[in-house]
Amino acid sequence: MDNYISLYIHIPFCKSKCLYCDFTSFDNMNQKMRPYVLALCEEIKQYGEFLYDKKVDTVFIGGGTPTVLPLVLMEKILKTLQESFKFSSSLEFTIESNPGTLNKDMLHLLKENKINRLSIGLQATQNKLLKSIGRIHNLEDFDNNYHLARKIGFKNINVDLIFSLPKQTLKDWASSLEYLVKIEPEHISCYSLIIEEDTPFGKLKSEGRLSEASEDSDRDMYHYARNFLQENKYKHYEISNFSKASFESRHNLNCWEYKPYLAMGLGGHSFFNGERYHNCYDLEKYIDSKGKIEDIKEDIEKIPLAMQYSEYMFLGLRLIEGISIKEFESRFKISFDKLFGDKVKKLVEMQLLIKDGNNIRLSTKGLDLSNIVFAEFLL
């Protein structure tokens, strides 16, 4: 697969900021959309030349909310991608969107330009909860967008949900999951809310004014989702991700399997040729650079081998099927046992890992305490 690559394209605009969000995204910046897209397309073209001998296996357009762009700008990005890269015949091409930002014209444009996977951020089905976290939409918006996308022919849809929201009950969470199981998206992501410092929720937390979910309630919601979705034929394939058979997110699988990816756009993170770097986070600087890669690359870091071993473990163990010792050894040409034998033995004794011949994976207890496991593999 050395000849294949994954691309991430970042669109840093949203209609308004959600109260928990610390992603690189801005609201009320419509006047910057055009210059941003022009710079982005220049960056895409340069990467296209640089990767002339590679085939693109997955593309993920994320944000922000990519579908807030006007049609003409969206079309420019999609055409530039197609003109700049060779796509593999099994291309997975995803775009993130929010309910209320999809309409007939946008969906047709996406479909006609090779996008074959939609990821929609629903987060919860209770309008009161959606409002309390600053979302721009209600359940009806989602429902309309989802069914319109189906009608227009999208056959691979992911829906994101968040649990442990302030004031969310287990009953709320169960009813969000029930609703999704009824409409049957191919993929469901369930993320636990993380309160980041530089967000309105972070501020409320520091003032002691946020009603945060307890750890026990967080775990109850997670276990509920695991059991309920598995009972309803969704495979739990990664800590936070569930899919119908053969609908795992290939883009994310590539990242968890420690394969290279290149990111274009503001703040995009790349991992290529054993190096990691990210694009600048300053919107003005990005636009002024006119997409010149060398002017926007920051924090270029050659990843030392010891770090590569550790990262391979953290990422691979996120997958429910875990990692193969043979694959680790064939990739790094080093004895797995010498590096990690003692750690694995200890974690198996603690019932956090399961070792099954050539395979190592998190136990059910390990899924809840994955950070402790990952920390053990830091060299």
Q: Which residues bind ligand SF4 (CB under 6 A)?
A: 14, 17-18, 21, 23, 25, 63-65, 98, 121
Question: How far apart, in Å, are the Cα atoms of 245 and each of 64, 95, 226?
Answer: 29, 21, 16
267, 24 in Cβ contact below 8 A? Answer: yes
How far apart are CB 68 and ligand SF4 at their closest, in Å?
Answer: 9
Q: Cβ of residue 136: shortest distance to ligand SF4, in angstroms? A: 7
Of residues 14 and 180, the one with the C-beta less far from ligand SF4: 14
Nearer to ligand SF4, 27 or 218 (CB): 27
Q: Which two tokens stand for residue 278?
A: 């990210």
Distances (CA, A) of 62 to 9, 131, 137, 333: 6, 23, 18, 35
SS3 letters for 91-160? Answer: EEEEEEECCCCCCHHHHHHHHHCCCCEEEEEEECCCHHHHHHCCCCCCHHHHHHHHHHHHHHCCCCEEEE
Q: Which of 38, 71, 66, 23 minimizes the C-alpha distance to 196?
A: 23
Side chain identity at residue 16, one-letter code: S
Q: Please, which residue, 21 or 264, has the CB nearer to ligand SF4?
A: 21
* 373: Cα within 13 Å, side-chain hemisphere: 28
361, 322 Cβ separation under 8 angstroms: yes
Looking at the Cβ atoms of 64 and 260, the one nearer to ligand SF4 is 64
CB of 150 to ligand SF4, least distance (A): 22
Smallest separation (angstroms) from ligand SF4 to the CB of 51: 27
Least Å distance, CB 29 to ligand SF4, is 12
Shortest Cβ distance from residue 17 to ligand SF4 (Å)?
4
> Given the complex with ligand SF4, which of 64 and 166 has the nearer CB atom?
64
Query: Distance between CA 192 and CA 3 in Å, rounded?
Result: 35
Q: Residue of minimal CB distance from ligand SF4?
A: 21
| CB 244 within 8 Å of CB 233 | yes
Q: Rounded to the nearest whole angstrom, what is the least distance from the CB of residue 231 to ligand SF4 in the complex? A: 29
Residue whose CB is less far from ligand SF4, 26 or 224: 26
